[in-house]
Homo-oligomer: A and B are copies of this chain.
Amino acid sequence: MDSFTISTSQRNTFVEITGQVRHSLKRRGLREGIGVVYCPHTTAGITINENADPDVVHDMLLWLERTIPQQQAGFRHGEGNSDSHVKASLVGSSAVIIVDKGDLVLGRWQGIYLCEFDGPRTRTVCVQWLGS
């Protein structure tokens, strides 16, 4: 297993980690198989989405913050970050990526993101490769 850390600078933000994941793949030298990119935190997640126009991430965060606001009637959790936990489970704690001919199978506009929902913090990302 491989891992690296990411320092985030805002409460809600996406940080692209495609480079770190590709670097891990090259070091491992896998030709055919899959990679699992995993976030061992309960208020952050992993997603794959557009990395060309930064407005896409802006709009995704806008929707998430508007639909899952931090303060909500009936929330009990004392840390005040229940919204972060909801966002984490919706986005998911991992992304699975196919490896073919020694490279990540990503669409032309796809990048891998660490989704921070309770920053700023330092987050760990774990990567596991399977195949040959």
* A90–B91 CB distance below 8 A: yes
Chain B contacts of A62 at CB under 8 A? 72, 74-75
* A77–B55 CB distance below 8 A: yes
A interface size (C-beta, 8 A): 59
Q: Say yes or no: is A17 at the interface (Cβ < 8 Å to chain B).
A: no
24 A-B pairs within 8 Å (CB atoms) are namely: A1-B32, A1-B98, A33-B130, A34-B36, A34-B128, A40-B105, A40-B107, A42-B48, A42-B50, A42-B110, A49-B85, A53-B78, A53-B79, A55-B77, A55-B78, A56-B82, A59-B72, A63-B72, A63-B86, A90-B90, A96-B96, A98-B128, A100-B128, A130-B130
Beyond known contacts A48-B93, A94-B96, A98-B126: 9 more, CB 8 A cutoff: A1-B98, A1-B100, A38-B98, A40-B108, A55-B76, A60-B85, A63-B86, A100-B128, A107-B124
Q: Could you tell me which A residues sit within 8 Å of B by CB distance?
A: 1, 32-34, 36, 38, 40-42, 47-50, 53, 55-56, 58-60, 62-64, 67-68, 72, 74-79, 82-83, 85-86, 88-100, 105-110, 124, 126, 128, 130-131
